[in-house]
Amino acid sequence: MSPTRLYIESNLSENSEFELTGDRARYIGRVLRLAPDDEVTLFDGRGSEYPATILSIGKNSARLLISKCILRNVESSLAIHLLQGLSRGERMDIVMQKATELGVRRITPVITEYSVVKLEPKRAEKRLQHWRSIGASACEQSGRNILPLVDAPQALRNWLGENFEVPGMRLILKPGGENSLRSVDKDVQQVVLLIGPEGGFSDSEYELAKSTGFCAIGFGPRILRTETAAMAAITALQTLYGDLARD
């Protein structure tokens, strides 16, 4: 079985001891029931991981011996920036988790005309921290060593108006869209993918996206839930142009 992976926000140093406290220590002690001499892997979210051995473990803390730093790159060659329409319930949590597992580099929640979720500033900050925590947990599970960048929610119109120079092919999913993924440029390295919330986009939002360089993509004959659409589109992009592709 692979060693447990833990994201650590603190700076890590090879060939040193590290004290794990709080929830992280309780998790490996009470939930995983690890013991001295068991091995774990720590990573800093910036590309480095550190195999470590548990020296001692108590009720609320654990001492670990870190060995050498390992640089292990599992990032996709395709840089996907997901613009995800803000949705209610667990839908956003699912998108954050699965998009991270599938290798998305950046996620920006966007508020659209048909978004049913209204976030006050204080609540928005709590949701942002929650989403970032989901991303970190997904990296622990999936083996990624670099955390995706998760932005604070912002109005779609503001993002479109302020990001003309963001590089990459721009795609927006639209029922009955006139193009398919196979019809777009075959030399793709960066993609900005725009997915609507539960109610989709308004006609004016489709027009605004088109005016800022987005190509409308049809995605099969069925209407997909917002979280399903995001996962299906990301998977298709990674299969055609990213690290799920086969020569």
Which pLDDT value is given to residue 141? Answer: 94
d(CA 121, CA 87): 17
Distance (Å, whole) CA 30 – CA 193: 40
Given a cut of 60, is residue 63 above it in pLDDT?
A: yes
Q: Per-residue b/e over 183-194, b at no fewer than 16 CB within 10 Å?
A: ebeeebeebbbb
Average confidence (pLDDT) over 75-103: 95
Report the pLDDT value the prediction gives residue 246, as an integer from 0 to 100. 62
User: Tokens standing for 235?
Assistant: 């998977």
User: Rounded to whole angstroms, how far apart are CA atoms 192 and 183?
Assistant: 16
Q: Is residue 59 a contact partner of residue 29, using CB atoms and an 8 Å limit? A: yes
Confidence (pLDDT) at 134? 97
pLDDT at 2 over 80: no
Query: What is the predicted pLDDT for the residue at 1?
Result: 54
d(CA 39, CA 223): 46
User: Per-residue confidence at 135, pLDDT binned at 50, 70, 90?
Assistant: very high
- Give pLDDT tens digits for 160-185: 999 877 778 999 999 887 788 877 77
Considering the domain 79-241 in this protein, what is its CATH number? 3.40.1280.10
User: Rounded to an integer, what distance in angstroms lies between the CA atom of residue 246 and that of residue 203?
Assistant: 37
Whole-prediction pTM value?
Answer: 0.92
User: Is residue 81 a contact partner of residue 105, using CB atoms and an 8 Å limit?
Assistant: yes
Amino acid symbol at 30? R
* Mean pLDDT, rounded, for 142-146: 95
Domains 4-71 and 79-241 share a fold: no
Task: Quote the CA–CA distance of 71 and 215 in Å, as a whole number.
Answer: 37
Residue in the structure block whose two tokens are 């640089």? 71
| pLDDT at residue 222 is higher than 90 | no
Tell the CATH topology of 4-71: Ribosomal Protein L25; Chain P (2.40.240)
The structural domains of the chain, with segments of one domain joined by +, span 4-71, 79-241
| Mean pLDDT on 76-101 | 94
What pLDDT is attached to residue 247?
Answer: 56
